[in-house]
Amino acid sequence: MEKIKIVGIGGSLTENSNSLFALEYALRGAAELGAETTLFDIDKLNLPMYDTRINHVPPMAQAMCNAVAQAHGLIWCSPLYHGTISGAFKNALDWLELLSNHTPKYLTNKVVGLVSTAGGVQGLQAINTMEFVVRALRGWTVPVTVAIARAWQIFDEKGNLQDPAIEKQLYLLGKEVVLGSRRFAQVEV
């Protein structure tokens, strides 16, 4: 069987992004099971607003979509902004429309792990929003999700996790995405 490829999409438009730090930990969990991982940082993607009338696809949008098309699984991480995912993260997901002409379309038979970070305690709202998007794009979410409350207390400015229990949860999520992806990779579609 080919090596499992996991793509992480997340972060925020800020320095020392807690959601980017969390995504990095989850991808490490995936790598521990031998997955090849690729990270797309929302800040570095610097994507224009998705517009169906666009004549030129930005290279970073195309690179992200190509990686997603070839991936077996994904890990998404968004900060919670006003009860939902951030606008920048949603915009990156909107660019996945480029996968509408692929076979199979969008995220068909791809496994997705979901992580959110919140300044308060309501991070699950972002998880719920991401789950709706995964379903709309024909993907499958793993049962394990990680909603990190008060993320500003959990990571230091260098991205070091201060809570071993959350580190364990993030690693577990990364591993669950790999295990689920292996199952789907064994099935002929």
**Tens digit of pLDDT for each residue in 18-34?**
999 999 999 999 999 99
Residues 130-163: pLDDT tens digits?
999 999 999 999 999 999 988 888 898 888 888 9
Sorting pLDDT into bands at 50, 70 and 90, what band is 189?
Answer: very low
Structural domain containing residue 32? 5-185
165 has pLDDT over 70: yes
Q: How far is CA 8 from CA 42, 82, 113, in A?
A: 10, 23, 9
40 has pLDDT over 80: yes
101 has pLDDT over 60: yes
On the CB side of 134, how many CA atoms lie within 13 Å of its CA?
23
- Pick from 113, 109, 130, 131: which is nearest to 33 by CA? 113
Residues 64-76: pLDDT tens digits?
999 999 999 999 9
Q: What is the pTM of this model?
A: 0.94
**SS3 annotation, 172-183:** HHHHHHHHHHHH
**Count of domains for the chain:** 1
Mean of per-residue pLDDT scores for the chain: 93
Q: Which CATH number belongs to the domain containing residue 158 in this structure?
A: 3.40.50.360
42 has pLDDT over 50: yes
Beta bridge partners, 79, equal 117
C-alpha of 150 from chain center? 20
